[in-house]
Amino acid sequence: MDRLDNTVRPYAWGSPTAIPALLGVEPTGEPQAEMWMGAHPGAPSRTARGTLVEVIEADPEHELGATTTAKFGPRLPFLLKLLAAGAPLSLQVHPDLRQAREGHEDEERRGIAVDAPHRNYKDANHKPELICALTEFDGLCGFRDPARAAALLDGLDVPSLKPYVDLLPARPEDAALREVLTALLTADRDDMAHTVAEAAAACDRLGGDYAPYAGIAHHYPGDPGVIAAMLLNHVRLQPGEALFLGAGVPHAYLSGLGVEIMANSDNVLRCGLTPKHVDVPELLRIVRFEPGDPGVLRPEAGPDGEEVYDTPVDEFRLSRHVLAEGAAARDLTLPTPQILLCTAGAVHAGEHRLTPGHSVFVPAGEKAEVSGAGTLFRATVVV
């Protein structure tokens, strides 16, 4: 096993205290948004043998296993994170694998630089995600029923929202949601800023179900994404609960600390709540205008005390082990690569003692015996 030394990304929306509190260190005063564990070239984990990218490149079949390498290529197909949202992230959506490949090929052909601010597809991979709450965690996920969205907007009593209120229940659901989102993102910016300001004042006054949107508007005054957010389901996860974000599902994280795992990709199309580029035509091609329940996940009991978060993708599999002092050691050996992350207590993984926020990489087939008293998340792949 390799103990991982991981990079913390200081994105502006990050909490300055949540990750330091988990690690048991003093805050720096700066936002600490995400701690990355994996072999993403932007911030690969470091080991005594070099970066995890270098370790895997030196002998992919040994580190990942022959089956994983054959299925996903000579790279770790997932990225594990601690994510600490102190302010809302951008409202966003991710492409499916076909869309990502087509979009990446098109932008490569047109010669758009990978670091260009208007670039949508930095790679040819999809980016399904799973977020598991460590604290109470607020987010937005998927479209509400249009009639419910209309009722929420109507309750604000903002005259300029009346056309959307009337439109939402009057059309087939997908057409109504598409038309309203398109209108919000293409409206005159000054007019929309005035509408958002009125809506934000009403959310402040009304509280209750409107409170999350008052908070969003405080961070993004005048942004049309504030109204777009009201088209989505608001979700409050309790510790141990999770959300799976598939392709085309609009979502945003609002606040809280969680363990996030995703396919190793940077492809994001933004819908609002951001100063960054919003490509409306491409966004509308990717978004799935399907209302429905966001589908809160709870872990399913597996063998040997493992609790599994079941998702429909193969690039990652996230599970949890809650270990009790004095209990027999658990053998977590797998023929696939693993990252083990401690989030509570103290856990022994092989020769390594892990405390909250610390992790190890376990090569495929490497003996992985764990014991102690604490909570351990396991990230691997499905082959």
Q: Which residues are catalytic, by number?
A: 270
Q: How far apart, in whole angstroms, are the C-alpha atoms of residue 330 and residue 324?
A: 11
User: Which residue blocks in 83-229 are alpha helix, DSSP H?
Assistant: 97-109, 146-154, 162-167, 173-186, 189-206, 211-219, 225-229
Helix/strand/coil percentages in the chain, nearest 5: 30, 30, 40
3-state secondary structure (DSSP) of residue 91? strand
- CA-based end-to-end distance of the chain: 21
* Cβ count near 30 (within 10 Å): 11
CA angle 64, 364, 322 (to 5 degrees): 120
Residue 291 DSSP code? B
Q: How far apart, in whole angstroms, are the C-alpha atoms of residue 358 and residue 23?
A: 8
Tokens of 292: 């429905």
